[in-house]
Amino acid sequence: MGISLWQLLIVLLIVVLLFGTKRLKNIGGDLGGAIKGFKKAMGDSENETPASPTAQRVIEDKDKAPTSAEKDRQNLSS
């Protein structure tokens, strides 16, 4: 019921004939690079360093800044 070795070889031969070895090599390299980049990004997110105190203050100040709706209300009331 499973796929035999000969069937796999025939499918591989057809794929090579359709795409060519150079194109398959490029696809494999691109796929490998994408996986490597994904793993690196996952590792970077786990090892993130906390923001510097100055950067943290900027983030906090930005969070405290009035929104555009609040600015509109202030302009209308004055």
**C-alpha triplet 34, 36, 38: angle, nearest 5°:** 70
Quote the pLDDT of residue 55: 58
Cβ atoms of residues 15 and 24 within 8 Å: yes
Q: What is the pTM of this model?
A: 0.42
> What is the percentage of the chain residues whose pLDDT exceeds 90?
36
Compute CA distances 72 → 48, 62, 69, whole Å: 38, 18, 5
User: Average model confidence (pLDDT) for the chain?
Assistant: 78
Domain assignments of the chain as residue spans, ordered by start: 5-73
pLDDT value of residue 35: 94
